[in-house]
Amino acid sequence: MFSLQNKKAVITGAGSGIGKAIAILFAQQNAEVHIIELSDEAAKATANAIKSSNGNAYTYACNVADQKEVIATFEKIGLHDILINNAGIAHIGKADTTSEEDFDRIVSVNIKGVYNCLFASIPFLKKRGGGAIINMASIAASSGLADRFAYSAAKGAVAAMTLSVAKDYINENIRCNSISPARVHTPFVDGFLHKNYPGKEKEMFDKLSKTQPIGRMAKPEEVAALALYLCSDEASFITGTDYPIDGGFLKLNT
Please compute Rg for the chain using Cα positions.
18
CB 30 within 8 A of CB 236: no
Burial class (CB in 10 A: 0-12, 13-18, 19+), 56: middle
Helix axes 67-77, 112-128, angle to 10 degrees: 30
CA–CA separation, 175 and 166 (whole Å)? 6
Q: Where are the beta strands (DSSP E) in the chain?
A: 8-12, 32-37, 56-61, 82-85, 131-136, 174-181, 242-245
Nearest one of 209, 243, 30 to 134, comparing CA atoms: 243
CA–CA separation, 229 and 146 (whole Å)? 31
How many CA atoms lie less than 13 Å away from 10 in the CB half-sphere? Answer: 30
Catalytic residue among 151, 169, 197, 229: 151
Helix axes 17-28, 40-51, angle to 10 degrees: 30
Q: Are strands 56-61 and 174-181 parallel, antiparallel or unpaired?
A: unpaired
- Is residue 197 among the annotated active site residues? no
Give the catalytic positions in this structure. 151
